[in-house]
Structure 1
């Protein structure tokens, strides 16, 4: 009985090594939480909780990988290396949630980077992890402010095109919009395989000096385009989330 109690005591005793691991997990929580909070504020599918869990989980896996590598004299990076490939499933889910929406790509990038930050913390690179978190936040927030100033001379609109089902048409639409110096912020695509039709939804920033009539005329001349209109519905929520 005493041996059992001694074993239980040895399991739950907190030594300096375990304190270090706990501090690593808390630092991962902080770094993941900061990035996740910013993502959550912009209504992204992967927000505060997701980024915290990714960072803490990655940190824990890195700690475990190092521990088992030292314990059995094996490769200390083998387990941790699987995080890099495995995190792609979460990233894929973020894109699938919004079908072909381009804005999901930024969230995928933060998910992947947050996993890297967690691994770095688990590996003991604390300062590097904090700097990486700062760079991510600068990219998401400071560059966002700069980007809004650069593109402020224009109005945000949702352009909807109904057309025959032809994915090559999307490239033609993009090329035409580029000729008009129109900034494309988001892309959505809905396909009707039965009727061989598709609906292209493009959130764009239209320059103030642009002729919408001329734009519509050129778009309507593209082969396969059946109908074009500007959809003002839900534009307030779209504006609040751009540019992501």
Structure 2
């Protein structure tokens, strides 16, 4: 570790964190996520600043120990102290991007990208350029390429709210059978509204190749007795 960082070296590290954090933020903003380019730049640069401060504290302690050898055994500097606070503290910011609705959760990837961006900033601030560059490439691959290469068949649930139970259930069953949609599980619920009942079925379904959830929802929405359709991500 250098005894003292030059202004040029500090500027290089801050510039790198701004560029790398900005690129990650552009990808998130392009996908219309809650944390975009400015948030990721600030998180990455903020982590870099804290790492630079920690590096300077360690450098100052080392210089003091060299200037006062009789106190070398007394002077202490823990380089992980401020860094540990970044790792735990950035979790609060990431948690703010996570949106939990009735039966779905969104924003997890953005929260993870903020956390990874903070780690990237720490690596840059500490001067570990090899780690920073390799990590940046890995983060961008995870955000842009992995989903295109590796396709995981997600389990999804379809919420259908309807009236006239017998007639509508028969229609839904016939539709699933005609489209070769496999029903893995069904959850039932009924609400009593004045003189009639509203039924809500949540189907865990497995679609055949070539059929999308959008098509299923569009087809079912044409039926008069169905009052609400919603896709639930598990």
Tell me the equivalent position of 1:21: 10
Contact 1:32-1:55 within 8 A present in 2 as well: yes
Residue 59 (str. 1) matches residue 48 (str. 2): yes
Aligned with 2:130 (options 123, 127, 131): 127
How many pairs are equivalent?
A: 167
Question: For structure 1, which runs of at least 5 residues remain unmatched after alignment?
Answer: 1-14, 163-178, 183-198, 216-226, 233-242
Aligned with 1:69 (options 58, 66, 76): 58
Q: Tell me the TM-score normalised to structure 2 length.
A: 0.59
Deviations 1:42-72 (A, max 9, x none): 1111111111100000000000011123324
Q: Tell me the TM-score normalised to structure 1 length.
A: 0.57
Contact 2:160-2:228 within 8 A present in 1 as well: yes
- Aligned equivalents of 2:142 and 2:10: distance in 1? 29
* Superposed displacement of residue 160, structure 1: 3.0
Look at both structures and tell me which one has the larger radius of gyration over its CA atoms.
2
| Closer, same or farther: CA 181–38 of 1 in aligned 2, 3 Å | farther
Tell me the equivalent position of 2:37: 48
| Closer, same or farther: CA 67–147 of 1 in aligned 2, 3 Å | same
| Closer, same or farther: CA 181–116 of 1 in aligned 2, 3 Å | farther
| Closer, same or farther: CA 109–124 of 1 in aligned 2, 3 Å | same
Question: For structure 2, which runs of at least 5 residues remain unmatched after alignment?
Answer: 62-75, 162-181, 186-199, 217-225
RMSD: 3.9
Contact 2:21-2:44 within 8 A present in 1 as well: yes
Aligned with 1:82 (options 75, 80, 85): 85
